[in-house]
Structure 1
Amino acid sequence: MKLHTHYLGAVYQFSDLKDLFAKANEEKSGDRLAGLAAETVQERIAAKEVLSELTLADIRENPMISPEEDEVSQIIENQVNEPIYQSMKNWSVAELREYILSDETTGEDLKRISRGLNSEIIAAVAKLMSNLDLVHAANKIEILTKCNIMIGQKGVLASRLQPNHPTDNVEGMIASLKEGLSYGIGDAVIGINPVDDSVESVKRLLHATKNFMNDWEIPTQNCVLAHVTTQMKAIEQGAPADMIFQSIAGTEAANRSFGISAALLEEANQLAKSHGTGTGPQCLYFETGQGSELSAEAHFGMDQLTLESRNYGFARHYDPYIVNTVVGFIGPEYLYNNKQVIRAGLEDHFMAKMHGIPMGVDICYTNHIKADQNDIEDLGVLLTAAGVNFIIATPMGDDCMLNYQSMSYHDVATLRQTMGKQPSPLFAEWLEKMGIFEQGKLSKYAGDPSIFTR
């Protein structure tokens, strides 16, 4: 395996795959914080050149974390379809990139070959792609999933309605919920981040959202994003949850810092299917984001893009209904500015789609990052063009509980109108029935929550 090259009169030698992968990554403040990033643009170009010439077998046969030492690695390795892998193992990473971007390669082709790729291979090819490459490739891939309703269809831009409240006040949450629905938001999930991670608080929010959904016959899903064990206890006590949520990471050690394991997630999946209120077959919701493993000091010298790809390999094992990256939420320690946030959002979406994952994005930023609302609107346009399954929306783009900036209800409505997208079909029918939509477009009642008091 060749790990060196000559470039502009200098010799660049990389110590191992971890070193090579990190230095081939686009500039990320998290990689620099970890001491992994390329020191110069020239070193990054040299790393990309070396990476492009490696074969897929070089990457798979030299694991960065041994499957014997890490259950995430073991799960990813066990998923590889051997006949498909054997047919491609001698391809270079550059050849894989050309195949992905070829006009002759369809989305179905990409879903087929993805079964023969591990997460590190998918990360490698993402490092060689431009932003437009990432948009173009991801847009080929249609990933359909169903909990109570189906999302992911071509031409559909679904959304998570996030009616958070700083005290988990049910009336305040319902007021925000009504406003979001009046803009046509909420077909992916009505998902609440609770302040109080107690069983009683989670039960109260689940009952409130489910009762509202039943009263108005809303075809969607509910979820309260507490710790998985809290949600499981709430369901066992009769709370109506359509899905179970959990944040995940790309190493076993990082997952332990979240208080989870592969076995616990399997237990949650079985509980959601047997006692949850979602009709399925998919009943899990995962959330990710570049940098979480470094925060937990569980990155094992790996760069944040590669670890994020491993998130999706881990998630794929459980056949989730939805997954989203929260790009820009952790802050400038991991994604310093607008350029890095936009790049990470496109990388995450592409890598997840290449894993066959139903991928959404929380397009967001914290107030101490060098980005603003225009930047995340730019990323919203790019991800909509890339065929993102859903986007998260908050009132006026400002989450009053988590204290970060995201896309607003009316931003998602504008993206649909501008980019020729629609809500998921059953949800769109309900919007027409309610008078919120007329002939596929927002009506004069759009944005008026009093429609739910008539």
Structure 2
Amino acid sequence: MGYKTVLGTKTYSFPDLKSLLAKASPLRSGDELAGVAASTQEERIAAQMALADLHLSEFLNIELVPSESDEVTRLILESHDKVAFSSISSFTVGELRDFLLSEKTDSIAISKIRDGLTPEMLAAVSKLMSNQDLILAARKSPVITKFRNTLGLPGRLATRLQPNHPTDDPKGIAASILDGLLLGSGDAVIGINPATDNVPTVIALLEMLDAIIQKYSIPTQSCILCHVTTSMKAMEAGAPLDLVFQSIGGTEALNKSFGVDLSILAESQQMALELKRGTVGNNVMYFETGQGSALSAGAHFGIDQQTLEARAYAVAKKFDPLLVNTVVGFIGPEYLYNGKQILRAGLEDHFCGKLMGLPMGVDICYTNHADADQDDMDNLLTLLGAAGCNYIMGVPGADDVMLSYQSTSFHDALYLRQVFGLRPAPEFETWLLESGLFDQAQAFLPKENKGQFLLEGILGESSR
């Protein structure tokens, strides 16, 4: 079985669905590296035309990765809701695009079909969409989650306060936390990537963050972005852990390369739920993803990187996470070569995640050897603000000194909130106002010369 499109006097043939999806994907270096990309723009258009005429039901009959050897495929098939799919079962991919963009289609209409859409269907329709299409459809799909505050409400933008330090120095981390809180960052999570992934370090950092959050009654959550098994050992030792973190991907082989599978994730989720540390909700998982990870691990099976990224969202969805984000430009130019490719991938990932019902954030970032700069990140930042992104990263100076990549800063979040009239998570907003750190009358900007109580307390906490 194959697919064909005639353009003028030339016939383009695609032997299978895997090839069709790859050839229809907008240009990116990772697909070229994998040898699956369209060779010309004309071939790409031909593939998109064939894909537009493909019925959604066909995705239920074709396994891109065989289910007998891949638990992610089995998860996608087992979790597919036939009732939710029934109203769109006659649609082609092109008709799904039309439905999502229709003025008559709102968030309620999308929520009714959400569980009937597979990741592959969403990857396919995203390949037919312009950037503005991806923004509009994602904006129609708010996703709300809760732990110590409420994230994802329309009109809100949260931030992950990312106070990484190359030696996990408590004072350096504390200084970054202080900087972020004074600028209204940290409602999504205060999340540290540890320089050393070991249990004693993780416990010490968790205790430090918990002491700060409890002392000042900050309605937020903490997370140490260590391996899930390290988090489990920390919980067993009685550490004050809020969220379990793990990087995940769209194939069983990729997840095995990360040292995880579905059963380990389920066990860690149950352990975190039993701690009952949430106050307004019990979403206890935090996942990160990124296009290109499967290829770098040799676990892509000839599938384009954007389709594999969408499959990763099926894994995330199973565990009702508080946070999911694509670290869109982090892996490097081998997979997303320049600012244009990073921007497109960020919008695709945000769209696919939101349509699947995930609380999507984006680490708007690039590595120093990519053909990109901060202007490119400003563009993606602004477009994601329009698209209703749940949260972005808050990194001191937008320069992560531990991970050595460029992201977004505390001031970038202030910019986005001002431009679009966005506000922090409601519980966190109340804390900022009642603490005297922010002034609602001045377009929700930080007050000058405030926060002395935080300055002495947080830096003092780091010395313990």
TM-score class, shorter-chain normalisation, is over 0.9
CA distance in 1, matches of 2:446, 2:66: 56
The residue that corresponds to 2:448 in the other structure is 445
The residue that corresponds to 1:292 in the other structure is 293
CA distance in 2, matches of 1:143, 1:130: 22
Aligned to 1:142, what secondary structure does the other structure show? coil
The residue that corresponds to 1:401 in the other structure is 402
> Percent identical across equivalent pairs?
51
Letter in 1 for 2:431: W
CA displacement, residues 160-213 of structure 1 (integer Å, 9 cap, x when unaligned):
000001100111101100000000000000000000100000000000001011
Alpha-carbon spacing, 1:77–1:447, altered in 2? closer, same or farther (3 Å) = farther
Q: Is the 8 A contact 1:250 1:309 kept in 2?
A: yes
The residue that corresponds to 1:89 in the other structure is 89
CA distance in 1, matches of 2:131, 2:271: 40
CA displacement, residues 253-272 of structure 1 (integer Å, 9 cap, x when unaligned):
00000000000000000001
CA distance in 2, matches of 1:148, 1:159: 14
The residue that corresponds to 1:153 in the other structure is 153
Q: Is the 8 A contact 1:158 1:389 kept in 2?
A: yes
CA distance in 1, matches of 2:50, 2:360: 30
1:197 counterpart = 2:197 = yes
CA distance in 2, matches of 1:443, 1:188: 18
1:435 Cα deviation after fit: 1.5
The residue that corresponds to 2:260 in the other structure is 260
CA displacement, residues 36-59 of structure 1 (integer Å, 9 cap, x when unaligned):
000000000000000000000112
Q: Is the 8 A contact 2:2 2:14 kept in 1?
A: no
1:446 Cα deviation after fit: 7.3
The runs of 5 or more residues in structure 1 that have no matched partner are none
Aligned to 1:91, what secondary structure does the other structure show? coil
Aligned to 1:287, what secondary structure does the other structure show? strand
1:413 counterpart = 2:423 = no
- With normalisation by structure 1, the TM-score equals 0.98
1:28 Cα deviation after fit: 0.8
The residue that corresponds to 1:382 in the other structure is 383
CA displacement, residues 337-390 of structure 1 (integer Å, 9 cap, x when unaligned):
000000000000000001000000000000000000011011000001000000
The residue that corresponds to 1:244 in the other structure is 244
CA distance in 2, matches of 1:148, 1:448: 22
1:277 Cα deviation after fit: 2.7
The residue that corresponds to 2:211 in the other structure is 211
The residue that corresponds to 1:320 in the other structure is 321
1:222 Cα deviation after fit: 0.3
Aligned to 1:68, what secondary structure does the other structure show? helix
1:447 Cα deviation after fit: 8.8
1:404 Cα deviation after fit: 0.3
1:434 Cα deviation after fit: 1.7
Q: Is the 8 A contact 1:243 1:272 kept in 2?
A: yes
Aligned to 2:203, what secondary structure does the other structure show? helix
Q: Is the 8 A contact 1:30 1:304 kept in 2?
A: yes
CA displacement, residues 73-129 of structure 1 (integer Å, 9 cap, x when unaligned):
111111111122233222110000000000000012112111111110011000000
CA distance in 2, matches of 1:224, 1:114: 31
1:448 Cα deviation after fit: 6.7
CA distance in 2, matches of 1:8, 1:427: 58
Aligned to 2:160, what secondary structure does the other structure show? strand
Aligned to 1:324, what secondary structure does the other structure show? strand
The residue that corresponds to 2:103 in the other structure is 103
Letter in 1 for 2:387: A
Alpha-carbon spacing, 1:250–1:107, altered in 2? closer, same or farther (3 Å) = same
Aligned to 1:331, what secondary structure does the other structure show? coil
CA distance in 1, matches of 2:35, 2:306: 15
1:419 Cα deviation after fit: 1.2
The residue that corresponds to 1:36 in the other structure is 36
CA distance in 2, matches of 1:273, 1:243: 9
Q: Is the 8 A contact 1:249 1:311 kept in 2?
A: yes
Alpha-carbon spacing, 1:451–1:198, altered in 2? closer, same or farther (3 Å) = closer
Alpha-carbon spacing, 1:106–1:171, altered in 2? closer, same or farther (3 Å) = same
The count of aligned residue pairs is 454
The residue that corresponds to 1:186 in the other structure is 186
The residue that corresponds to 2:428 in the other structure is 427
Q: Is the 8 A contact 1:178 1:449 kept in 2?
A: no
1:281 Cα deviation after fit: 1.7
Matches within 5 A, 1:60-75: 60-75=60-75
Letter in 2 for 1:444: K
Aligned to 1:333, what secondary structure does the other structure show? coil
Letter in 2 for 1:182: L
Letter in 2 for 1:372: D
Matches within 5 A, 1:291-370: 291-370=292-371
1:450 Cα deviation after fit: 7.2
Q: Is the 8 A contact 2:87 2:113 kept in 1?
A: no
CA distance in 2, matches of 1:408, 1:240: 27
Matches within 5 A, 1:222-241: 222-241=222-241
The residue that corresponds to 1:55 in the other structure is 55
Q: Is the 8 A contact 1:182 1:446 kept in 2?
A: no
Alpha-carbon spacing, 1:240–1:111, altered in 2? closer, same or farther (3 Å) = same
How large is the RMSD of aligned CA atoms in angstroms? 1.3
Tell me whether 172-181 or 63-72 shows the greater mean CA deviation: 63-72
